[in-house]
């Protein structure tokens, strides 16, 4: 055997094992931290915006059920969270629906653009424009993950 083969086969020293374990531990902690951060951002909206009172430029984050869709714009009924997987409809009125526009810059999460259809449940995040239409920056497809009973929310 040559000198190079003997050196290549030597066992790792204690310092090398400690360094390897430290790097592996840091990588695991960073991965967990990133997953937790992603989960926090993906949490469905708890608060209900009052649709009629949305000011131009205000940020909106709401869970809605799409009532009608035309091109890249839809009208949707606001939903109120009951549990993590159950949302209920609000009584019809000016404060219970919003108009949303989306485009190529809108981030679609947990689905594709074709999932944005009538009766789909989505979470919308965006800004209100001067026509009181929410310009969606992100749409999260929640259809299949949450349930919306036909009965209205209890006041």
DSSP-assigned states of every residue in 83-113: SSSBEEEPPSSTTSEEEEE--TTSEEESS-G
Give the pLDDT score at 74. 94
Low-confidence ranges of the chain (pLDDT < 50): 47
For residue 99, what is the enclosing H or E element? strand 97-101
8 A C-beta contact, residue 78 and residue 97: yes
Give the pLDDT score at 136. 94
Place of tokens 């190529």: 104
Give the pLDDT score at 68. 92
Q: What is the pTM of this model?
A: 0.66
């Amino acid at each position: 055997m040559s000198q190079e083969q003997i050196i290549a086969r030597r066992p790792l020293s204690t310092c090398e094992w400690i360094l390897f374990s430290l790097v592996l531990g840091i990588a695991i902690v960073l991965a967990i931290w990133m997953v937790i951060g992603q989960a926090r951002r993906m949490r469905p909206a708890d608060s209900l915006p009052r649709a009629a009172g949305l000011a131009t430029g205000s940020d909106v984050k709401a869970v809605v059920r799409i009532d009608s869709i035309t091109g890249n714009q839809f009208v949707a009924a606001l939903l109120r969270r009951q549990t993590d997987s159950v949302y209920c409809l609000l009584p019809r009125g000016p404060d219970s629906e919003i108009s949303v526009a989306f485009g190529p810059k809108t981030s679609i999460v947990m689905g594709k653009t074709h999932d944005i259809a009538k009766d789909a449940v989505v979470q919308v995040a965006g800004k209100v424009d001067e026509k009181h239409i929410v310009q969606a920056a992100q749409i999260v497809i929640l259809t299949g993950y949450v349930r919306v009973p036909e009965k209205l929310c209890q006041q």
